[in-house]
Chains A and B, each alone.
Chain A
């Protein structure tokens, strides 16, 4: 029996300040799964996201988020922002080579191709920093509060992605 989880494509970035996954959302699917298991970064920092539309990356104050950060060695941290966020913050926390075991991210995207609804995200991620001996688990939700067609996603941070690989799936 044919599966309803369709592999769309793999996107790879090498030594990039911003990791752009362009033209990954189409009218063929309403819901998508993005899996990232390869994260090599130049320094330690949080990762954030922004959507890509017909005009490019939306850097406007059009995002809201609610995220819980689960540390292995200290109290959990919650953060949320309803208005004026320019990013979808706290996707994960990565350490540079030699100090990291940068794990995985599962991101579900709802309604990106709809021009009449907002685009919603749920995600969870896990990474490990050897230098801090700390597990970082993150679980959260995002919304891009513009009713427009979203075609892609950009991940950013302060510092380069040395190597990052994302697998994009459509859910039929």
Chain B
């Protein structure tokens, strides 16, 4: 991957916002990577992700996901669901002082004849002081042209601090 990561969009949050949208996915690259660094909520919450079409997040029940949880405090587990309104970076409930980190790879987003796929590899710290992460995937089950991602916390939490960066992987 050396020398192949091209920045497309970036949002650095230093004061509270409800959500962040990163756009710029097009046909230039086949694969894109979203990097989340130290995303903090205003109250205990989990970070979720939606696909955007023409810059607008799609919140219809068209997200499926499957995730293997690995955590420092108890046995590992599995999380899966279908026809959801979003999917989750890590499925962790994080606190307000230590947040969520991870890389998400995005496949087929700009191809209007294919679903958009995601893989995620997070490392987060929960509100109960456990290290929480894992490996998993999600799919947006619409054959549409996806041009970006929308990120927000649940529980009506604002994003108080974070760095979100969207990269293209150079062919």
User: B-contacting residues of A (Cβ < 8 Å)?
Assistant: 1-5, 7, 30-31, 33, 64-68, 78, 80-82, 108, 110-111, 114, 117-118, 120-122, 139-143, 167, 169, 171-172
Contact = CB atoms under 8 A, between A and B. Distances in A.
A113 to B, nearest CB: 11
Given A5-B2, A82-B130, A141-B131, 14 more contacts: A66-B71, A68-B70, A80-B72, A81-B72, A82-B72, A108-B103, A108-B121, A111-B37, A111-B38, A122-B121, A122-B122, A139-B135, A140-B133, A141-B122
Contact of B76 (A1, A68, A110, A111): A68
B130 A5 contact: no
A33 B4 CA distance: 13
Nearest to A3: B3
Contacts of A120: 101, 123-125
Contacts of B99: 117
Nearest to B131: A64
Task: Name the residue in B99, B102, B131, B134 with the highest tally of chain A Cβ atoms < 10 Å from its Cβ.
Answer: B131
16 contacts: A2-B6, A3-B6, A7-B3, A64-B130, A65-B72, A66-B131, A82-B130, A111-B38, A117-B99, A118-B98, A118-B125, A120-B123, A122-B133, A140-B70, A140-B133, A171-B35
Contact of B1 (A5, A31, A66, A143): A5
Contacts of A4: 5-7, 165, 167
B14 interface: no
B167 to A, nearest CB: 6
B102 A122 contact: yes
B74 interface: yes
Contact of A172 (B7, B70, B76): B7
Contacts of B170: 1, 3
Interface residues of B, number: 39
Nearest to B98: A118
Given A3-B4, A108-B103, A142-B131, A82 B73 contact: yes
Contacts, number: 108
Contacts of A31: 35, 37
B129 interface: yes
Contact of B125 (A80, A139, A143): A143
A7 to B, nearest CB: 6
Interface in B1-19: 1-7
Contacts of A80: 70-74, 76, 131
Contacts of A139: 70, 135
A121 B122 CA distance: 9
A82 B129 CA distance: 8
B63 interface: no
A114 to B, nearest CB: 7
A33 B1 CA distance: 10
A1 B2 CA distance: 14
